[in-house]
């Protein structure tokens, strides 16, 4: 299969390219890092890249929490306009198979249960609560403490920042394209991806990269809030394997199918910082109590649907992956 990989020179995209080659496919990289003219927002450039292509793996995106709404136009342009241009070109070229780099950020907060009110959805955390160190959301009905759990693909979307809103819009655009063309679209809702080639010290680097860079300087990782935020850290090679599996399987004609893509092993941000500190023999993490508005407290997914329907499973465990990541491999 000849696969156009947008963002194929980036962190995740480059691993997808490697995984496609290893599986006997022919990846075609489309990325402004390699070619300034390869902008997914340019209809002519995208159209020129599609002849002979059997499927598209759309990784190109502007990522990260961003700066409130100050950079909203940039996110919408790169993520949503770019996706719309790509889908229109695919429709014209007769390419009918798409795998989209989705994100767990579309859920907002994860799944919570109140002892009295069952499964509930807390609203955004207030700045006053965060400043006072009240990091855990309470039940929206009674204010009681909540138990976090795993969120399924059937949970309603509730994006809490501009980036999250653009990732959800990408899925809606892909669903519209699939219905209009009878194409198949799969969105893999990635969790916190880490591993080799992860960006360093940029506004869009993940927390694992920031922690590792601090340790490389001999500094303690600075952990926001109380360090008990739950996340699912999934290795980039496992994510790339999920992309190849999804491309080979295809989706349902005329529809968008979504799959959570995580390790299935929730860990706290504090766990991450301690694992990297231990692996590098560096100073213990410092819990700062600082916070970022727009961050969610807990978001971990149930990825069993991807395992059950497509046969994918992660191969790199947390401890092994963190040791490798700490060594810069």
> Which residues are catalytic, by number?
163
Which class for 123: exposed (0-12), middle (13-18), buried (19 or more C-beta within 10 A)?
exposed
Place of tokens 């999250």: 164
Q: Compute how many other C-beta atoms are within 10 angstroms of the C-beta atom of residue 54.
A: 14
CB 77 within 8 A of CB 41: yes
Q: What are the tokens at 91?
A: 């429709």
Q: Which one-letter DSSP state was computed for residue 81?
A: I
Instruction: Give the separation between CA 152 and CA 184, rounded to whole angstroms.
Output: 21
Report CA-CA distances (Å) from 240 to 54, 168, 190, 229. 18, 21, 10, 25
Instruction: Give the separation between CA 2 and CA 24, rounded to whole angstroms.
Output: 10
CB 195 within 8 A of CB 272: no
Instruction: Give the separation between CA 43 and CA 225, rounded to whole angstroms.
Output: 43
Instruction: Give the separation between CA 107 and CA 185, rounded to whole angstroms.
Output: 19
Report CA-CA distances (Å) from 107 to 111, 167, 301. 9, 10, 10
Instruction: Give the separation between CA 26 and CA 54, rounded to whole angstroms.
Output: 10
What is the phi/psi pair of residue 242, to 5°? -65, -40
Q: Which one-letter DSSP state was computed for residue 138?
A: B
Helix, strand, coil percentages for the chain (3-state, nearest 5): 35, 20, 45
């Amino acid at each position: 299969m000849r696969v156009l990989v947008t963002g194929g020179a980036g962190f995740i995209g480059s691993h997808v390219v490697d995984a496609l080659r290893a599986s006997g496919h022919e990846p075609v990289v489309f990325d402004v890092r390699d070619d300034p003219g390869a902008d997914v927002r340019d209809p002519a450039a995208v159209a020129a890249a599609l002849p002979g292509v059997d499927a598209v793996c759309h990784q190109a995106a502007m990522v990260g929490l961003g700066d409130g709404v100050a950079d909203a136009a940039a996110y919408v342009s790169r993520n949503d306009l770019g996706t719309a241009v790509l889908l229109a070109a695919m429709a014209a070229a007769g390419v009918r198979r798409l795998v989209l780099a989705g994100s767990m950020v579309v859920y907002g907060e994860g799944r919570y249960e109140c002892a009295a009110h069952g499964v509930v959805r807390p609203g955004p955390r207030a700045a006053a609560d965060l400043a006072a160190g009240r990091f855990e959301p309470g039940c929206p009905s009674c204010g009681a403490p909540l138990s976090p759990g795993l969120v399924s693909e059937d949970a309603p979307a509730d994006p809490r920042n501009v980036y999250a809103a653009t990732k959800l819009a990408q899925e809606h655009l892909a669903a519209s394209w699939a219905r209009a063309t009878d194409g198949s679209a799969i969105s893999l809702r990635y969790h916190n991806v880490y591993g080799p080639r992860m960006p360093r010290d940029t506004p869009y680097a993940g927390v694992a990269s920031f922690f590792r860079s601090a340790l490389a300087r001999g500094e303690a990782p600075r952990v926001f809030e109380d360090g008990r935020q739950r996340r699912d850290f999934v290795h980039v090679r496992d994510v790339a394997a999920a992309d190849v599996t999804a491309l080979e399987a295809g989706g349902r004609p005329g529809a968008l199918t979504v799959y959570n893509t995580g390790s299935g092993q929730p860990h706290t941000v504090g766990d991450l910082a301690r694992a990297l500190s231990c692996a590098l023999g560096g100073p213990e993490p410092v819990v700062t109590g600082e916070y970022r508005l727009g961050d969610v407290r807990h978001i971990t997914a149930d990825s069993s649907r991807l395992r059950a329907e497509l046969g994918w499973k992660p191969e790199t465990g947390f401890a092994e992956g963190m040791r490798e990541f700490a060594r810069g491999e």
